[in-house]
Amino acid sequence: MNPLETYQSDAVERPLIRRRLFWALFVSLLLHGGIVWWFHQTHLPDFSNAPVERLVPRTIFTLKNITIDEKILDGSEDQQEAPKLVQQPRPEIKPLDLPDEKPMADVSEGRMAPGVPATADIVKPIANEKPVAESNDVQAIARVQDSAKMVMEQDLNSLRDSLLKDQPADVSHSLIKLPDTNAGDSAQTDAQELSTASGALDNLLGHGLHAGDKPVTFPGGAMFEFDSAALRTQSLEQLHKLGMLIQKNPNVTFSIEGYTDSFGDSAYNIQLSQARADAVRTWLIQNMDVDPSHIQSVGYGATRFLVTPQDVDMHSQASIDAEKAFEQPNRRVEIRFKFPTPQ
């Protein structure tokens, strides 16, 4: 190969060399600048001999009189001589009488406070000390808490007994009307009894009323809201059938009788049962256009039980729920028929 063909000019390398020189210069300037800045910020320790503090303070002298030669003021040959200062004699330095006690220095916020003699009692602040509970104190507190708990339980028991004693003599249960916790079972039973009442009304509509026919019983839970005289919509079909039966028998007087279970106050139960009987009578008059003289309504409250109430433990919710389910048939509305007396 011809050597001339392999020759390449350095014109291509010059820009690369210039860039490298530029960056080398830039790095050098940064390095030297950093060194200068470091020396400027760094304080070298003073290696001179530190003055030794004296135990005895320096004596301060006061110059009272200074004598200056008149020749110096006139500019004579002796003006180069320094003025002579008249100094007062140095006072005699007496040794300090230091106390026998060894002072102790208190350092607070960078200041030296006078020392306190070792014999002085140092009172520590109470706030810095953590309270220590003795075992005897803990036991005493526990006994007080147990005693207070027993007193509270006794007061609650006495209050409960007084409330139970204040209820009427003919009521064997609590004055408080408790909600039905077995809502699902009660609703199923009410639906079954309502279906039975609907079937009885269908038979009476098909065959007609006769003396000696049994009364039609509507379950109270299916006809009314709990502790209310408001009619439920699910009972309107049966009431419509009852209105048709009344229209087909104008000579028969229909007696609507309301009953409750044994829970609650007797006076309140009579009032509630009367309100429910009146609600049925009013609905029939307003919606079925029946003769008001052919319908009577009366509330008997907690009487004429279909099932006899049992003893209930008012402290046990399970016992209360069981009794309420047992007395389901007592909560009802009965439709009785009164035929005219033959002449």
What is residue 116's predicted lDDT score, i.e. its pLDDT? Answer: 47
Contact (CB, 8 A) for 146 and 196: no
Domain boundaries, the chain: 183-338
Overall average pLDDT of the 135-156 stretch = 74
Residue the block writes with tokens 């309504």: 297
Overall average pLDDT of the 76-100 stretch = 58
CATH architecture of 183-338: 2-Layer Sandwich (3.30)
pTM score, whole prediction? 0.46
Could you report the per-residue pLDDT of 279-320, keeping only the tens digit for each?
999 999 999 999 999 899 999 999 999 999 998 888 899 988
Contact (CB, 8 A) for 153 and 251: no
Task: Please check the confidence at residue 173 and state whether its pLDDT lies above 50.
Answer: no
Angle, vertex CA 114, rays to CA 110 and CA 118, nearest 5: 120
C-alpha span between 80 and 72 (Å, rounded): 8
